[in-house]
Amino acid sequence: MPQLNNADPITDLVLLHGWGMNSAVWNGVPASTWNGLTQHRIDLPGHGDSPFPTGRDDLWGWAEACLDAAPERAVWVGWSLGGLLALAAALHAPKRVAGLILLTATPRFTQATDWTPAMPAATLAQFHDALLADPSGTLSRFLALQVSGSEAARDTVRQLKQELATRPAPQPAALALGLDLLREEDVRPQLPDIRCPTLWLFGRNDTLVPARVAERIAVLLPEAQIAVIAGAAHAPHLSHPTETAQAVQAFLLNHVC
């Protein structure tokens, strides 16, 4: 696996949350997980305290918005949609992304003939339609999906709701565009262009990003480090913080510190 330049140590960490969330979700992750790196918690466009800029209405525009708010060089952590954006940032500005930690992320979220371990496109289309009629109810149902199958589902969803309530609700237009990104984007062809070290963490019981994606990542990105957390669903950093921290700390120690 590629090694970072130890003569120029990395001190910063960018954290990107998932769809419909905000940066407060990282409050539930023990600070020790990040091995002393300085956290930069970025709200995705139109989420939390982040504005929803015009003219940046695609994956690369959102990645640029995140890069604008990020330090010059850092390890990037992305959860779910945030992972897709972290990948886009690494492809768009490779010198600024020293490493990638991808939490239940995937280069393609919807099924295709050659990509079966994913959500049916119809599922995201239903969320899109429901979002127009009932934004808050749609977010609640999505929260339930985040933890479906987890051993700690009830506690995890309670924690998520408490953290999210501390920040402004996401803008409906940002939610709609985020669903479009999840439904339409596919960066599988660009994965071989990723040159920084990568850690991919999956939840064995995840219903949104099946753990079988790990097998595909191993083929597309042979040098990637991959771990599947038993008993976890789509939020292993919240439901299984100890196991997540062990994997993250080992990755940072071996490839950053």
Write down the catalytic residue from 80, 150, 237, 255.
80
Write down the catalytic residue from 50, 206, 239, 240.
206
- The reply, when asked if residue 145 is annotated as ligand binding, is yes
- For this structure, is 234 an active site residue? yes
What is the spatial distance between Cα 160 and Cα 108, in angstroms, rounded to a whole number? 24
- The reply, when asked if residue 252 is annotated as ligand binding, is no
- The reply, when asked if residue 246 is annotated as ligand binding, is no
Of 118, 104, 139, the C-alpha closest to 238 is 104
- The reply, when asked if residue 146 is annotated as ligand binding, is yes
- The reply, when asked if residue 142 is annotated as ligand binding, is yes
- The reply, when asked if residue 234 is annotated as ligand binding, is yes
- For this structure, is 140 an active site residue? no
Q: Please tell me the total number of residues recorded for the chain in this structure.
A: 257
How many other CB atoms are found less than 10 A from the CB of residue 12?
16
Alpha helices, DSSP H, located in 6-78 = 59-69
Q: Report the alpha-carbon angle 203-108-136, nearest 5.
A: 70
CB 78 within 8 A of CB 105: yes
- The reply, when asked if residue 251 is annotated as ligand binding, is no
- For this structure, is 47 an active site residue? no
Write down the catalytic residue from 17, 234, 237, 240.
234
- The reply, when asked if residue 81 is annotated as ligand binding, is yes
* Residues carrying an active site annotation: 80, 206, 234
Binding-site residue set: 19, 80-81, 142-146, 234
Query: Which residues are annotated as part of the binding site for substrate?
Result: 19, 80-81, 142-146, 234
